[in-house]
Structure 1
Amino acid sequence: MFNRRNFLKLSAASAAVATISKSALAKNIATPVAPNLPVVISTWDFGIPANKEAWRILKDGGRALDAVEAGVKIPEADMSNHTVGRAGYPDRDGHVTLDACIMDENGNCGSVAAMENIAHPITVARLVMEKTPHVMLVGEGATQFAIEQGIKKEKLLTPESEKAWKEWLKTAKYSPVMNIENAQHKPGNQYNHDTIGMLAIDAKGNISGACTTSGMAFKLHGRVGDSPIIGAGLYIDNEVGGATSTGVGEEVIRNVGSFLVVELMRQGMSPEEACKEAVHRIIRKKPETAKQIQVGFLAINKKGEYGAYAIQDGFSFAVCDTQKQDLLIKGKSFYK
């Protein structure tokens, strides 16, 4: 039976709960986090030196956003790294084009794609986030914006990369080779393609991420993969966690992979379980294609728990926290 007095009591209690919830949100009260925070994780073995640079900021209480930008700039500047940054292999027409994106704990994000003649795309991506009302700038517009922000324009095609490109031209086909990534990290393979994706949680429990690449070697001019696309190559939700990807970007884009991983964690999956399900969706949709390509996901949740999963064997990720500084972990995979 309806009781007006009880109804009023219930309404008052509900209003009090709502007021408390709003107050908590206004104060940005952090979810309890694991004692090993801060923590930074990143894709592949070149994530180890990248993590160490990020750790220099995190260990002193710095912001995760600053850490991930500084961290991924290390492989961007590495002249022996032909898959990220200034020494990246060119596209089929000899242009070195770079892609990157960055995302902070507040959902702010910035991105550049197919940008030429600028060595550190991650810094330009952050400037897009902080200095413009936009999320993504591409091509000549991205380069122009970078120069306007005081960044030096420079030639990125190195003699070594140019030599590899000219060697490739001898047998090149018109269509890009989509299974290049299946040979990642095999000695002697000069045309493999990796991305560095980095995720960090700072001492305050806030999450940020960065992703940067020179893209698929000898790709069609103008091709853009998943790395600079928010929700594909990178996604952060400060209430849940973050995810990033590596591999053939076309398949990651088709499945909005990093966003999918974060949403699966929101539903209660662990980081590894979420990465595994995202990989399985790619395989279920295109089983024959999946046999020929590599895609890997890396994720971290709000507690500081992390995990990864890939289509092919060979994917690894680096971890740095208060307990370990240079840990490299072999990710699990569907195909062994």
Structure 2
Amino acid sequence: MKSRRKFLKISALGGSMLGSSFTIAKAFAGTADLQKKGKKPVVISTWNHGMDANEAAWKVLKAGGTALDAVEAGVRVTEADPNGHSVGIGGYPDRDGNVTLDACIMDHNSNCGAVAFLQNIKHPISVARKVMEETPHVMLVGQGALQFAKAQGFKEENLLTPEAEKAWKEWLEKAKYQPVINIENHDTIGQLALDSHGNLSGSCTTSGAAYKLHGRVGDSPIIGAGLFVDNEVGAACATGLGEAVVRVAGSSMVVEQMRNGKSPMEACKIVVERIVKKHKDLTNVQVGFLALNHKGEYGAYSVYPGFNYAICEADQANRMEDAKSKMKKW
């Protein structure tokens, strides 16, 4: 995505072209995308399942709804899809066969809520919002989170689908007891939105690394790691190896880079490079960041190629874009 700095550079170039209106018009022809990428509302989501999530979120935004309502409605679609194996129902279990879910949500006023190690509840994102709105806390975990969810009217159900159970049993036969790090198109969903009122919100939800140790929690429910929103600056979310994201407080660092004047893509790139620098061995260390600033400009960057995201904005159809990466191949 072209930055405002590049836009001004082109403007200056146009002004020096001997006053030729034709030449100046030609110089400005490439700036149309920049103008479109600065409009609101806009919603962006990680991975291919972000397309369906965006459709749901866009209905809220198009009707003049809030970014907060949009990012909850959007990722609920992914949580309810039994064919997805990294979010909600149908998610791959931990090594003991339990589907455990993590999620967080954050609004334009820096209100936030999260749940971790939650079992038997299909929509952890909605429980996270209830934590934000109905308690003085930010995060509830395990049995406490389940108890709270049930008190709020959420129903328990078995989240381990036959397909996911079959994959788990096949993995057990190998007896390696090593978590499988999701690296492409089947990972956490993070969603960021800017509404017509100029407010930002974000959500993040996952079933975590497949066949992880029982009790493991990654970056996804951690405010500042898997998700961060500052309405004066922008919002960011993360996907990939959660442990690597936590070590650099990933999403909050992306937002801080935007605060320092970096474009969303530049901000994501800087934090990815920080992760790369901190890991001597990059085997399976795939991390991607997605960012949206308060002007409606967006960007993404990842350690390895393969990370893509869905974008839906004013005057343009919902579509997929590929993120640039630090490493050129696996």
With the length of structure 2 as denominator, give the TM-score of the two structures. Answer: 0.87
Cα distance in structure 2, aligned partners of 1:228 and 1:215 = 10
Q: CA deviation at 1:159?
A: 1.0
RMSD across aligned positions (CA): 1.3
CA deviation string 1:122-153 (max 9, x = no partner): 00000000000000000111111000001111
1:323 to 291, 315, 323: 315
Read off the aligned partner of 2:274 and give its amino acid letter.
Answer: R
Q: Which runs of 4+ in 1 moved over 4 A?
A: none
Q: Find the residue that maps to 1:165 and give its secondary structure.
A: helix
Cα distance in structure 1, aligned partners of 2:283 and 2:232 = 35
Alignment of 1:135-150 (within 5 A): 135-150=138-153
* Mapped pair 1:282 → 2:275: yes
* Mapped pair 1:238 → 2:231: yes
What is aligned with 2:297? 305
Alignment of 1:35-184 (within 5 A): 36-177=39-180, 180-182=181-183, 184=184
Decide which structure has the larger Cα Rg and report it: 1
Identity of aligned residues (%): 63
Read off the aligned partner of 1:154 and give its amino acid letter.
Answer: E
Aligned residues: 293
* Mapped pair 1:228 → 2:221: yes
The answer to whether the Cα contact below 8 Å between 1:52 and 1:325 also exists between their aligned partners in 2 is no
What is aligned with 1:203? 196
Q: CA deviation at 1:35?
A: 6.0
Q: CA deviation at 1:34?
A: 7.1
Cα distance in structure 2, aligned partners of 1:58 and 1:169 = 44
Q: Find the residue that maps to 2:237 and give its secondary structure.
A: strand
1:270 to 247, 263, 284: 263
Cα distance in structure 2, aligned partners of 1:161 and 1:272 = 35
What is aligned with 1:25? none
CA deviation string 1:152-187 (max 9, x = no partner): 11111111111111111001324434xx334x24xx
Read off the aligned partner of 2:286 and give its amino acid letter.
Answer: Q
The answer to whether the Cα contact below 8 Å between 1:309 and 1:333 also exists between their aligned partners in 2 is yes
The answer to whether the Cα contact below 8 Å between 1:111 and 1:129 also exists between their aligned partners in 2 is yes
Cα distance in structure 2, aligned partners of 1:235 and 1:276 = 16
Q: Find the residue that maps to 1:126 and give its secondary structure.
A: helix
Cα distance in structure 2, aligned partners of 1:150 and 1:215 = 25
Read off the aligned partner of 1:196 and give its amino acid letter.
Answer: I
Unaligned residue ranges in structure 2 (runs of 5+):
1-35
Cα distance in structure 2, aligned partners of 1:256 and 1:35 = 27
Read off the aligned partner of 1:210 and give its amino acid letter.
Answer: S
Read off the aligned partner of 2:260 and give its amino acid letter.
Answer: Q
Cα distance in structure 1, aligned partners of 2:135 and 2:124 = 16
